[in-house]
Structure 1
Amino acid sequence: MIGVVLMANRRDALAARREALGFTQESFAIRLGVELSTVGRWERGTLTPQPWRRRRIAEALDVSLERLDELLAPATGIALPTHVPTRLEANRRFDRAVVVDDARDAARFARQIIAASVSSSALEQISVEIGRFAADYVSKPLSELFVDIRELRGEVVNLVECNRFPDQMRELYLAASRLGGLQAHICLDLGHYSAAHTHAHTAFLCAELAGHNGMRAWVRGLQSLIAYWDGQLADAVEFAQDGARHCSRGSIAARLPSLEARAWAGRGDKRGALGALERAAHARAAVGDHDDDAGVFTFPAAKQAVYAGTTLLTLGDRDTTTRAAQESSYALQLYEAAAPADRSTGDMLAARLDLGRAYLMRDDLDGLADQLNVVLAVPQVRRTASIVKRVAGIGEDLTQSRYARSPQGKQIRTEIASFCAPPPALPPAPTMEPA
C-alpha cells in the first residue's frame, strides 16, 4: 500500500507540473527527444531518469534540480542523488528498460539524420538551376528571375539548417553563397543598397563556410560594386583589394583590379586608377576568356572594356577621354559579336552612355543624342539603378554645358528627366483571373 501511495504522489506531482506548463505527455516527450512511454514511466515512478537527462527535464519544467528531486520523490522527502554515478554504480542500476530506452533514442537520432540528408541528384539539380540563373541574369529582365532565385535560396537555407553531412554542407553553403550573391545583385540593380550590402555580407559568410576561394573573391568583387554605386568609394577599393587575396584563377583576377580602378578614378586618384587598369590588363592576358563558371559569375573581356571606359572617362582629361571612347566602342563591338544570350543589356547600355558622355565632352551633341536615344528607348523593366544614375549624370553635365539653353539640349534634358522619374523596379505581381 505504501508503495502505491508513493507512486501516486510521484505521478500527481510530476504530471501536475507538466500540465501546468501546457505540456501533454506526447509534447513533453517530443521536447525531450524520448519515447512517450518513457514519460509515463517517470510519472508512474517505475523508471528514474538517468542523471545526464535530469538537467534537461528540470529545464523543460522550469525548476531547479533540487525541486525536480522533490517532484520525483515527494512522499519520502528524500532527494535523489545529484552526482553522476560511477561506472560501478551505473552497472548495478542497468536494467532491460534502460537499455531499450537508450536504443530507442539512438534510433530516433538515426531517423533524424537520414531525414536531413540530401540526395546527390538534388544537389546536382540545385547547381544546374543556379547556373541557369547566372546565365539568364546577363540578358533577361529581373522580373523573369527574381521569384525563382528567391524561392530556391529559401529551399537551400532550409537544407542547410537541417543537414548533418559535412561534405553536403560545403556544397549547400556554396549554393547559398551563389544564390545570396544573385539576390544582392538584384537589390543593387533596383537601387536598394542597404539590402544589397546585407545579402552580400551573408553570401561571403557562406563562401567562408564552404571554404571556396573563387566565391570569396567573387563576393568581394560584388561588395566593391555595391559600395561604388552607394558612393562608398574607399570601401569599394578595400573590398576589391581584399578579394584579390582569395583569387587564384579565372576572369575574377581581371575583375577585381577593374573594380578597384573605377573606384580610384571616382576618388580622383589617377595614378591608382591607371595602375589598377594595368594590373587588370595583365590578368586578362593570363586567363583569356576561359572560365569554369558562366553568366554573371564571370567577367568577359567586353565587360572589362566597359569598366575601363568608365574609369578613363571619370579621370576626365583629354587623353583619357579619347581612350575611354575607344574602350566603350570596343566593348560594344565585342558584345554585338557575341551570342544573344551572352550580351549583357546593362553593360551595353553603360558603354553607350559612356560613349555619349565622351561625345558631349568633345562638344558633339549629335553624337551624344545618337547614343542616348538607344538607352532612353529601353522599357522600365530593363532599367537598373546604375543606368538611371548614369543617365542622370549626363543630364547634369548637359545643364552645365554650353548646350544647356539650346533647343536640342533642352529636348534631351526633358527626355532624360522623364527617363529618370520612375525608380527601377520589378513589375507588379500578376493578379489572378477569376475562375
Structure 2
Amino acid sequence: MRGLDTPALGEGIAYRTEEEVIMAAARESARFGQRAERTNVGPQTLDQLDADLRRLISAYPRRPVFPTFLEVLELRNRAFELLEGQQHPRQTRDLYLVAGIACGILSNASFDLGKMDAAGTQARTAYLCAELAGSNWLRIWVRGMQSMIAYWGDRFEEAIDLASSVRELTPEHGSSAVRLASVEARAQARLHNTEAALAALTAATVAREAMTRPDDFGGMMAFPEEKQLFYSSTCQVWLGGESRFREAARNASEAVSVYQEAPPERRRIGEMCLARLDVASAHLGLGELEGAAHEVRSVFDAATLRRTDSVRQRLQQVKEQMGESRLRTAPLAGNLRDEIIEFCAAPVPALPEGAAS
C-alpha cells in the first residue's frame, strides 16, 4: 500500500499547494527516468553477440552442419534470455535482429539436416523477429528460406507465393532480394512456367544491379554471383532442351570454378556440390554419361564431411534423370545409380530431441 506521504501523481491535488504538486510531478518523472535507463545489456554484450554471429555465419558453408547448429543454438538462447529482461528500445531491436538471424541460421541448418518441420518453425520465429527488429533485408531473407523449404518439399506454388509476399520490400543492404527472385525462378521452372521463370531470373539480375551496398553479414547470409549462376543453371535444366542444357552446363561450370578458386576459409562446399550436380544433369540431357559420372563422383568426395539434405535430394533427382534417359541401359549408368543409392543411404545426422525448438 502506498504511504500517505507518497501519493501517486495527481492524487489529492485539492489538498496540496501549487509547489507541492509541481515537486511531486518532478519526483515521479525522476523515478520513471531511473527505471527507464536500466538495462540488462552491458556495453560489450551486443558487440560480442555480433562478433559471435559473424564468425558462425562465415564458417557455416565449410563446416559440418550439426556442430555449427549447436553453437548457433547457444547464441540464440543468450539473445532470448536477454530479451526477457529490460533494455533500451534500440538495444531491443538489435537483440531481435540477432535472435532473428540466429533462428534463420537454425532454420537453414535444420533444412540441411533434413528436418523440414523444424526448419519451418525456426523460419516462422525468424520472420517474427525480423518484424520486431524492423529489418527488411531479414524479412526478405527469411521469406527466401521459407520459399526454399517449400521448393525442396515439391510445393512449388507455395514457394512462389512466399517469394511474392515480400517482393515489394526494399532491403537496406545486400543480396537478399537477389536470392528471393532466384528461388522463385527455380520454383517456376519446376512448374515449366518458362516465361515466369525467365522473368524471375531477370528480376534477380535487376536486384543485383540495384544493390546499394554489400551484405552487412556475409557468409551463408549472402547470395554471391556464383550462387546466382547455378540457380540459373538449375532453371535451365528443369526447362530442358538442348540449348538450355548447354547454357546450364556453362553457367554451372563457371560457378564450380569460382567455388574451387575460393580460399579454403571461404569455400562453400554444399553449393559447389549442387553446382556440380547441375553440370551432371546438363551432361545427361546432352547424352554425355561420362561427363555426368565425373561430376557425381566429385560430389561424393566433396560432400563426405558435409552431407546436406539438398545434396542428397539433388543426387536422387540425377538418378531419376538417368532412369528416364536413353542412357539408362548403359553399364556405367547402372553403376552410377548404385553408387548414388549407397551414398544417399548414409543418414544425415539427426538433431537431438528438443534441439530445434
TM range, smaller chain: 0.7 to 0.9
TM-score relative to the length of structure 2: 0.86
TM-score relative to the length of structure 1: 0.71
Matched AA of 2:81: N
Q: 1:87 aligns with which of 12, 21, 28?
A: 12
Query: Which has more radius of gyration?
Result: 1
Counterparts of 1:181 and 1:241, CA distance in 2: 19
TM-aligned CA distance change 1:90 to 1:138, over 3 Å:
farther
1:139 and 2:62 are equivalent in the alignment: yes
* Counterpart for residue 229 of structure 1: 152
- Please tell me whether the aligned partners of residues 324 and 358 of structure 1 are also in contact (alpha carbons under 8 angstroms): yes
1:397 and 2:341 are equivalent in the alignment: no
* Counterpart for residue 61 of structure 1: none
Q: 1:188 aligns with which of 92, 99, 111?
A: 111
- Please tell me whether the aligned partners of residues 142 and 381 of structure 1 are also in contact (alpha carbons under 8 angstroms): no
Task: Map 1:45-124 to 2 at 5 A.
Answer: 87=12, 114=38, 116-124=39-47
SS of 1:243 mapped into structure 2: coil
- Please tell me whether the aligned partners of residues 289 and 300 of structure 1 are also in contact (alpha carbons under 8 angstroms): no
RMSD: 2.9
- Please tell me whether the aligned partners of residues 141 and 177 of structure 2 are also in contact (alpha carbons under 8 angstroms): no
Task: Compute the displacement of 1:288 (Å).
Answer: 9.0
- Gaps (5+ residues) in structure 2? 17-23, 353-357
Q: Deviations over 1:122-141 (max 9, x none)?
A: 10110111111111112211
Task: Compute the displacement of 1:401 (Å).
Answer: 2.6
* Counterpart for residue 75 of structure 1: none
Counterparts of 1:112 and 1:158, CA distance in 2: 19
SS of 1:382 mapped into structure 2: coil
TM-aligned CA distance change 1:89 to 1:264, over 3 Å:
same
TM-aligned CA distance change 1:90 to 1:302, over 3 Å:
farther
Matched AA of 1:161: E
Identity of counterpart residues, as a percentage? 35
Q: 2:48 aligns with which of 94, 105, 125?
A: 125
Task: Map 1:263-278 to 2 at 5 A.
Answer: 263-278=187-202
* Counterpart for residue 344 of structure 2: 420
- Please tell me whether the aligned partners of residues 224 and 235 of structure 1 are also in contact (alpha carbons under 8 angstroms): yes
SS of 2:313 mapped into structure 1: helix
Matched AA of 2:61: V
TM-aligned CA distance change 1:403 to 1:174, over 3 Å:
same
SS of 2:329 mapped into structure 1: coil
Task: Compute the displacement of 1:112 (Å).
Answer: 10
Task: Map 1:235-274 to 2 at 5 A.
Answer: 235-248=158-171, 249-274=173-198
TM-aligned CA distance change 1:246 to 1:89, over 3 Å:
same
- Gaps (5+ residues) in structure 1? 1-33, 39-46, 53-84, 92-98, 429-435
Q: Deviations over 1:181-208 (max 9, x none)?
A: 0000001111111111111111011011
Counterparts of 1:379 and 1:265, CA distance in 2: 26
Matched AA of 1:172: L
Counterparts of 1:263 and 1:126, CA distance in 2: 35
Number of residue-to-residue matches in the alignment: 339
* Counterpart for residue 120 of structure 2: 197
Task: Specify which structure has the bigger relative contact order, considering alpha-carbon pairs within 8 angstroms and separated by 6 or more residues.
Answer: 2
Matched AA of 2:169: H
Counterparts of 1:347 and 1:299, CA distance in 2: 11
* Counterpart for residue 64 of structure 1: none
Counterparts of 1:295 and 1:251, CA distance in 2: 12
- Please tell me whether the aligned partners of residues 321 and 358 of structure 1 are also in contact (alpha carbons under 8 angstroms): yes
